[in-house]
Structure 1
Amino acid sequence: MRVMVLVKATEDSEKNSIPKAQMDQMLKEMGEFNDELVKAGIMKQGDCDGLTPSSKGKRVGFDGSSRTVIDGPFGDTGALVAGFWFWTVKDMDEAVAWVKRCPNPMPGPSEIEIRPIDG
């Protein structure tokens, strides 16, 4: 089963305001976790990335044949994605077990969402 694992954005990640020392430590811990995922065959090398804050992004709105470009930042921070992985697991229980082992991806409360890939 393939899943996409989504690290949800927080106010800190959207403001890009995480102190450098704290960010360095978080990246070190996340790198070690990623190495475990690769060794276990859950993740292929390079199947994880962080995203810039939504202020650097764009959305394209669709309404029939009309297209509207919307510049970031986007509201509802908790609905935004700050990073992602693609994993191959035997089932959703295994994906949940791996996410529970993940270091907290943000300095405060945060969430990680797991979505099966259709197909």
Structure 2
Amino acid sequence: MANKNWSDILGWGEDQVEDLRFTGYAYLRQGKYEIALNFFQALVVLDPLSAYDRQTLGGIYLEMNEIEKAIRELESSLKLEPDHGPTLLNLCKCLLQKGKVKEGLKYARKLRKNEDRYIANMAKALLLAYS
């Protein structure tokens, strides 16, 4: 299934994929994670090289406390966009929740110097909480 180009099979262009992404994000913003999950699961099949869709799917899994699935998607996203701060922060949270404190703190130490103040402050808070 991964080798098929589902957008071509469905006759979809970027506009249809973007509509799907927009709708999924609207559900996500409302906190309707179960509904948003379906959209982003479809999106990673339709656009497997989208780091955004994979990071969002990972974030949804994190919110739903499905940590193993979250880690898998976040790591896949980082293969496409290795230095994405929000994805690294979510991976850090997942690792800490899973009890992999040493590995999680490694990410937190790196992120505490992030240029995005929100990410840096969250990383500092995680360092204080888990050190």
> Under a length normalisation based on structure 2, what TM-score does the superposition of the two structures give?
0.21
Q: 1 or 2, which has the higher strand percentage?
A: 1
Which structure has the highest helix share of the two?
A: 2
Higher relative contact order (CA 8 A, sep 6+): 1
